[in-house]
């Protein structure tokens, strides 16, 4: 009789539960051993001019609608010239059948530039400059959240993630509805809180801080981990250590610490393949607008980072086939990903290159 083989997560496929989405992820780390003969992406452009007179996000330049940007020297926020949501859209006609439902969608879309220079990204900015970005995020959540139920802050970094402009910026969309992902997260966090009497992500942060195996960077107030249920190869989850509902609730010292840990995390990303690391990221916090006066104790503020790169600066993870038709699947364990990121130098590779010149 053959003896039963011992389970090793690096060699044996298995499923992991994502409590935020109430779904399962297939982990198949042994697939990293297969040779790659598929698509090779163009490496991100490394030589971005500090100022481009034709870039509509640069200070003093004219945008598509004819408006001229001020000569800003910090953050700069303006209404998106091509918004996906507008505040005065009419209601759709009444539903005629339960299979053909529609609802009104109204909102505001803003663009926020992080810095006047096009050749810097968040990890290369000064800490005090990143603090100003965080302060502006908090200000926008308070301003737009006074009316709208959901305010989504998100950054698409790099052409690989569909970003059409290299200037450091993010978007802020406020909507009169709770979008699918936060609605699902709201239900999952509420269910856990009702069963266990503690916010899901607060307990999760405590567990990860003790285990350490998926921690990438940590500080007095924050923890960044490759989550146990991560789908994207080097996906991370950024969590406060205390119970916080929204980014606008962060104290001054927590914002300063957040700026530091963001720079550290994003430096690790850039150092992985020595390239300006592409990703989509965004903040999730308790709903706003009519939800401000409701009990949202089940919520915990957090940020998701979803980077696509898998093997190198030019080979990304494709979410196709099985992932689209069956369920999410990943090609290395979260523990392997966290170890790779954690062991990278903390000094940004561009700063090292400049010293060597």
Q: 115 catalytic, yes or no? A: no
Residue list for the binding site for UDP-alpha-D-glucose: 31-34, 64, 80-81, 156, 162-164, 171, 317-318, 322-323, 329
> DSSP labels for 138-158?
HHHHHHHHTT-SEEEEEEEES
- pLDDT tens digits, the chain, 357 residues: what are they? 445 788 888 888 999 999 999 999 999 987 655 554 455 555 666 788 999 999 999 999 999 999 999 999 999 999 999 999 999 999 999 999 999 999 999 999 999 999 999 999 999 999 999 999 999 999 999 999 999 999 999 999 987 887 879 999 999 999 999 999 999 999 999 999 999 999 999 999 999 999 999 999 999 999 999 999 999 999 999 999 999 999 999 999 999 999 999 999 999 999 999 999 999 999 999 999 999 999 999 999 999 999 998 888 888 888 899 999 999 999 899 999 999 999 999 999 988 777 665
Q: Residue 42: what pLDDT?
A: 58
- Name the active-site residue from 115, 167, 169, 302: 169
Residue list for the binding site: 31-34, 64, 80-81, 156, 162-164, 171, 317-318, 322-323, 329
Residue 170 has which token pair?
A: 């993010």
> Which residues pair with residue 319 across a beta bridge?
none
The single residue listed with the structure tokens 């089940």 is 298
Pairing of strands 236-240, 302-306: antiparallel
pLDDT tens string 218-248 = 999 999 999 999 999 999 999 999 999 999 9
Q: Residue 311: what pLDDT?
A: 81
Q: Residue 4: what pLDDT?
A: 72
Q: Residue 335: what pLDDT?
A: 97
User: Can you tell me the distance from the alpha carbon of 244 to that of 254, in angstroms, rounded to the nearest whole number?
Assistant: 11
Q: Residue 37: what pLDDT?
A: 47
User: Can you tell me the distance from the alpha carbon of 317 to that of 290, in angstroms, rounded to the nearest whole number?
Assistant: 39
- 270-275 LR contacts (CB < 8 Å, sep 24+): 270/121, 270/123, 270/348, 270/349, 270/350, 271/344, 271/345, 271/348, 271/349, 272/234, 272/309, 272/340, 272/341, 272/344, 273/309, 273/312, 273/313, 274/313, 274/349, 275/43, 275/44, 275/46, 275/313
Q: What are the structural domains, with CATH classification, of the chain?
A: 61-89+103-175 (3.30.428.10), 180-354 (3.30.428.10)
CB 168 within 8 A of CB 126: no
Cβ count within 10 A of residue 174: 26
DSSP three-state, residue 200: helix
Q: What is the pTM of this model?
A: 0.94
Q: Residue 162: what pLDDT?
A: 77
């Amino acid at each position: 009789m053959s003896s039963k083989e011992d389970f090793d997560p690096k060699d044996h496929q298995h499923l992991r539960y994502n409590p935020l989405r109430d779904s399962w992820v297939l982990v198949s780390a042994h697939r990293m051993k297969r040779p790659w003969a598929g698509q090779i992406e163009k490496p991100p452009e490394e030589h971005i001019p500090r100022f481009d007179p034709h870039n509509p996000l640069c200070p003093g330049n004219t945008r598509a609608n004819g408006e001229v940007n001020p000569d800003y020297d910090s953050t700069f926020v303006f209404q998106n010239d091509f918004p996906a949501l507008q505040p005065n859209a009419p209601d759709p006609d009444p539903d005629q059948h339960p299979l053909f439902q529609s609802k009104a969608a109204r909102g505001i879309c803003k663009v926020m530039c992080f810095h006047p220079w096009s050749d810097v990204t968040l990890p290369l900015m000064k800490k005090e400059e990143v603090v100003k970005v965080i302060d502006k995020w908090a200000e926008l959540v308070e301003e737009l959240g006074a009316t709208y139920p959901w305010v989504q802050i998100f950054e698409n970094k790099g052409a690989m993630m569909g970003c059409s402009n290299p200037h450091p910026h993010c978007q802020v969309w406020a909507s009169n509805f709770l979008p699918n992902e936060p609605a699902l997260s709201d239900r999952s966090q509420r269910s856990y809180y009702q069963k266990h009497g503690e916010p899901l992500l607060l307990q999760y942060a405590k567990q990860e801080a003790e285990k350490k195996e998926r921690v990438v960077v940590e500080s007095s107030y924050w923890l960044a981990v490759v989550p146990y249920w991560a789908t994207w190869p080097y996906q991370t989850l950024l969590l406060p250590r205390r119970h916080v509902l929204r980014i606008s609730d962060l104290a001054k010292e927590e914002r300063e610490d957040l700026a530091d840990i963001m720079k550290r995390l994003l430096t690790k990303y850039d150092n992985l393949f020595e390239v300006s690391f592409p990703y989509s990221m965004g903040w999730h916090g308790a709903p706003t607008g009519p939800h401000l006066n409701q009990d949202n104790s089940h919520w915990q503020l957090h940020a998701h980072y979803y980077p696509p790169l898998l093997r190198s600066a030019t080979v990304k993870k494709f979410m196709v086939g099985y992932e689209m038709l069956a369920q999410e699947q990943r090609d290395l364990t979260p523990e392997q990903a966290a170890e790779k990121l954690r062991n990278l130098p903390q000094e940004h590779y561009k700063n090292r290159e400049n010293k060597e010149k």
